[in-house]
Structure 1
């Protein structure tokens, strides 16, 4: 969607910021600033409306007071309560689900090392997989941590460089190594309180509730190739899916 082409009534200079606030609010309601929720910079708004930076700041201050937007130091102004959405009815990696919303997420490796596969994970990945690669990555959007992912992957992933495992989504990594596509995943959603390591990584307080997504992914040959758990800050994140009525056959 495009911003409104409405012009400002300039007879009363004191009301200019109110008009700008009203126009921006209307555009927010129309979804103009989807999918990232980030508004134009103050400089861009000054140019658009041909007003001073003071007038623009007064308009943004009014929207902030009304909880319509939130201003993040050094990052800009964003629609308040903007929800990142993860569709459960289409198979995508966590990283890809953010990219398709027009965002520019980062993945930062916290740790990457070979471990003895825990029994509960081994039962999923296969009894012969005594060792696996534990990959921990922090998912970041606009400099803010969104989720921490812990993935147990085949040890062959260790042959990839640090940069490759930091920049490529898990499913792309697995396809490049095996030549097979990930075709299905079993996903469970729950919640838990953040312990200190999670709180430190996600920059939240200990005990804060987190969404937890557990995922088992399978290749086209039916081999389980990925056992992942994502710990997600829930303030601006939601899982969605479409459901259809299916009549019960009698």
Structure 2
């Protein structure tokens, strides 16, 4: 990311680090560090402003104290409370909604196995002998887990090798093996507290609140092809929906 160099006023009675923190605060407010929210490294900022790393660190300390930025050990400095957005008025996979924001999300495949479909889904889910492919994946942005996805998909998905499946959005996998298009999804948003397993995977404390997105997706032939639950860290994620008055 390129920033225009803003020379500091060396004779200004305001400390250099306060000038730097003020400039960074303005840049953050203008959205300069979107979409990831990551600031340049201390070394890069030092070169930009021609100051020592200690001066840069003092400037960042000021922004941390104001809760404008946060440091992530081994990863860098990020805008605090950076929000990833999931639009509910367009049908996209969880992974694709992150991609279109200019992010570089990763998916870590935790498990995949053929299981018996839960009884509650058998009347609507397109299954073969009541079987389904259960896939669990961790969604990661900038090295930080933001969501755990648990999906029941058509058993045909097992034909896709694990390495390919790790980075393939569910909808693309479904369309690849069925030859049909996913055309509709019913989505519900709820909340619950993180249990031990989910807390460990998302690197949060047990009992912290989570957003839960439940999704049922349907193929062009009308059959349900996907039942997914996403356990989402809420501090960096929001769901948005555009609505309009109906003209009479």
- The TM-score normalised by the length of structure 2 is 0.94
Q: Secondary structure at the match of 1:124?
A: coil
Q: CA deviation at 1:7?
A: 2.1
1:43 alignment counterpart: 43
Cα distance between partner residues in 2 of 1:190 and 1:129: 31
Alignment of 1:1-250 (within 5 A): 3=3, 5-12=5-12, 15-126=15-126, 130-247=130-247, 249=248
Cα distance between partner residues in 2 of 1:244 and 1:12: 51
Q: CA deviation at 1:201?
A: 1.6
Structure 1 72/152 Cα, relative in aligned 2: closer, same or farther at 3 Å? same
| 8 Å contact from structure 1 (residues 135, 150) kept in 2 | yes
Deviates most, 87-96 or 6-15: 6-15
Cα distance between partner residues in 2 of 1:4 and 1:122: 58
Q: CA deviation at 1:179?
A: 2.1
- CA-based RMSD of the aligned residues comes to 1.7
Structure 1: gaps of 5 or more residues: none
Structure 2: gaps of 5 or more residues: none
Cα distance between partner residues in 1 of 2:6 and 2:25: 13
Deviates most, 70-79 or 221-230: 221-230
Q: CA deviation at 1:137?
A: 0.5
Structure 1 166/13 Cα, relative in aligned 2: closer, same or farther at 3 Å? farther
Q: CA deviation at 1:222?
A: 2.0
- The TM-score normalised by the length of structure 1 is 0.94
